[in-house]
Amino acid sequence: MKRLLMTLLLLLSAAHAAAQSRADSAQSYVARGVTWFEKGEVERAISDYNLAIAFDPRSAEAWLNRAIARDHKGDHEGAFDDYTRALELEPKQYAARLNRGNIFFMRGDFKAALGDYEQAVAIKPREATAWSNRGRVWIASGELENAVKDLNRALELDPKFADAWAHRGIIRAERGDYPQAIADFDHALKLNPRLAATWANCGLALLMLGRTEEAERNFVRCKELGGRLNPAAEEFWQELRKRGKSK
């Protein structure tokens, strides 16, 4: 009986050691994958994350990192699946909640996006991004009062968060407060001059105030950054081009 018990204890110890070894191997591959990702070698990073998951399928960190890499390369569906798996293993992962919410938003599933952003806010209430992104959902849903509250909170937490300024500018423009909208757009563009959509939105607000030359410059900058104008701005832009050619 003692010999049998000893054998069982040895087997359990060996199994534990093997499991620990696989977990350690998975962690090593995750670490190397992060290094590859930081160097811009996304495919190599994904290969290492694949190995990490093979060694330890319950590593939420491996699933999360592969999701981020897939998201980065534009594989949003693959990223969505990985974020979901990471959250099944560890529901309080802020990055997974935030990023999966972004994919829901891109799909137009605002209710699901709102759910993930609310969870993200609960997990890290002092992170401005989740507040700003939730504000963006409120804008898309027409809930402007809720949007303003969330965006103001985001700016309290991080006054240098360009997206929050840009989103609040959209609300002010929607309400017809074009001077304040322009002020918010300008602030956003000082912080991040590569926000193509914000150049376009600012141009529209300027256009509504009759400041056509400034609006034109904003539309030009939007185009230079590869952005698109909405139909009203595009019509104005085409008219300006016709005038330029006729001179």
CATH top-level class of 168-247: mainly alpha
Neighbours of 9 (CB within 10 A): 10
17 has a pLDDT exceeding 70:
no
Q: Which residue intervals of 91-230 are DSSP H helices?
A: 94-107, 110-123, 128-140, 144-157, 162-174, 178-191, 196-208, 212-224
2 has a pLDDT exceeding 60:
no
User: What band does 111 get if pLDDT is binned at 50, 70 and 90?
Assistant: very high
In angstroms, the CA 77 to CA 45 distance is 18
Boundaries of every domain in the chain = 168-247
The encoded tokens of residue 187 equal 């602030």
pLDDT given for residue 234 in this prediction: 81
Task: Give pLDDT tens digits for 169-227.
Answer: 999 999 999 999 999 999 999 999 999 999 999 999 999 999 989 999 999 999 999 99
4 has a pLDDT exceeding 80:
no
In angstroms, the CA 67 to CA 60 distance is 10
The encoded tokens of residue 76 equal 């949003």
Task: Give pLDDT tens digits for 148-180.
Answer: 999 999 999 999 999 999 999 999 999 999 999
Neighbours of 154 (CB within 10 A): 25
